[in-house]
Chains A and B, each alone.
Chain A
Amino acid sequence: EAQVTQNPRYLITVTGKKLTVTCSQNMNHEYMSWYRQDPGLGLRQIYYSMNVEVTDKGDVPEGYKVSRKEKRNFPLILESPSPNQTSLYFCASSLDRINTGELFFGEGSRLTVL
Chain B
Amino acid sequence: GENVEQHPSTLSVQEGDSAVIKCTYSDSASNYFPWYKQELGKRPQLIIDIRSNVGEKKDQRIAVTLNKTAKHFSLHITETQPEDSAVYFCAASLYSSASKIIFGSGTRLSIRP
Complex Cα–Cα for A90 and B89 (A): 14
Give chain B's interface residue range (CB within 8 Å of chain A).
20 to 34
Per-position binary interface string of chain B over residues 39-55, scored 1 when its CB falls under 8 Å from any chain A CB and 0 otherwise: 00011111001000000
Using known A-B contacts A42-B105, A101-B49, A101-B95, determine if residue A90 contacts B44 with beta carbons closer than 8 Å. Answer: yes
Q: Which of B12-20, B64-72, B96-104 contacts A (4 or more CB under 8 A)?
A: B96-104
Q: When the two chains form their complex, are residues A101 and B93 in contact, meaning their CB atoms are under 8 A apart?
A: yes
Q: Which of A21-29, A43-51, A69-77, A78-86 contacts B (4 or more CB under 8 A)?
A: A43-51
Complex Cα–Cα for A73 and B18 (A): 41
Number of interface residues of A (CB under 8 A): 23
The minimal Cβ–Cβ distance linking A58 to chain B, given in whole angstroms, is 6
B residues apposed to A, CB below 8 Å: 1, 6, 9, 32, 34, 36, 42-46, 49, 89, 91, 93, 95-106
A residues apposed to B, CB below 8 Å: 33, 35, 40-45, 48, 50, 56, 58-59, 90, 97-98, 101-103, 105-108
Complex Cα–Cα for A106 and B91 (A): 18
Q: When the two chains form their complex, are residues B32 and A101 in contact, meaning their CB atoms are under 8 A apart?
A: yes
